Chain A
Amino acid sequence: QVQLVESGGGVVQPGRSLRLSCAASGFTFSSYGMHWVRQAPGKGLEWVAVMPPDGSNKYYGDSVKGRFTISRDNSKNTLYLQMNSLRAEDTAVYYCAKSPWHLSSFDYWGQGTLVTVSS
């Protein structure tokens, strides 16, 4: 069965960097687009970034553009999110999610990893 396991969250000071990972199993990772979605405490879901299966044409939400970078290693079945210049408002649970046949949506989700940006 499809499994997505995020890791790398923790407490980080404003302005610092953090890299999240999402280990995938149970499907052919290299054939599907992958997303990051986040949820600040007590708030709604926010789409962060998407990466197609071949690694081309990445897209980002306005709030993270220029600071976050999505990447993937298909040989390791792993998705990454490099987060630089972190701000307090980046504090959230970060979920990775798999796309179905089209990049527009998500069919499977991980359990999330919490990132807290605080001095």
Chain B
Amino acid sequence: QTVVTQEPSFSVSPGGTVTLTCGLSSGSVSSSNYPSWYQQTPGQAPRTLIYSTNTRSSGVPDRFSGFIFGNKAALTITGAQADDESDYYCVIYMDSGISVFGGGTKLTVL
């Protein structure tokens, strides 16, 4: 069974930069997994940030960027703001046609 791994929690100072990662329990993440990233605040629907590794969704500021870092997908947030405090989820697409969510990273801005 495929497990997608994310840091459970992370903190960043206002104005700072943070990189969240998304890996596989076995194997490497590559662009052919079309990694994507989503932001969710409590009680709200998810918001799409990045898809196909590094394509920003409509309206997403360029403070958010996605890339492959070694054997993982990564999301970097620069100039962190208070309203970036959210849960962040990655999704990995598998050859079998299924998509798998990571467990999410709770980002604190303080």
- Which residues of A79-107 are within 8 A (CB) of B? 95, 100-107
Bound complex: CA A47 to CA B97 (Å): 12
Cβ-defined contact, B52 with A100, below 8 A:
yes
Are A44 and B45 within 8 A (Cβ)?
A: no
Across the interface, do B99 and A45 meet the contact criterion of CB distance under 8 Å?
Answer: no
Q: Is the CB of A106 within 8 A of B36?
A: yes
Q: Which residue of B lies closest to A57 (CB)?
A: B97
A106 touches B48 (CB 8 A): yes
Count residues of B near A (Cβ-Cβ below 8 Å). 28
Q: B74 CB to closest chain A CB, in angstroms? A: 16
> Quick one: given A45-B46, A109-B45, are A104 and B93 in contact (CB under 8 Å)?
yes
A45 contacts B97, CB within 8 Å?
no
Number of interface residues of A (CB under 8 A): 26
Instruction: Establish whether residues A105 and B34, one from each chain, have CB atoms under 8 Å apart when the complex forms.
Output: yes
B89 touches A44 (CB 8 A): yes
Residues of B contacting A107 in the complex (Cβ-Cβ under 8 angstroms): 48, 51, 57-58
Q: Which residues from B are CB-within-8-Å of A112?
A: 45
A101, A109, A110, A111: which contacts B48 (Cβ < 8 A)?
A: A109
Which A residues lie within 8 Å of B98 (CB)? 47, 50, 59-61
Sample 13 A-B pairs with CB under 8 A, ordered by A number: A37-B46, A44-B87, A44-B102, A44-B104, A46-B101, A60-B98, A61-B98, A95-B46, A100-B52, A102-B93, A105-B51, A106-B38, A107-B57
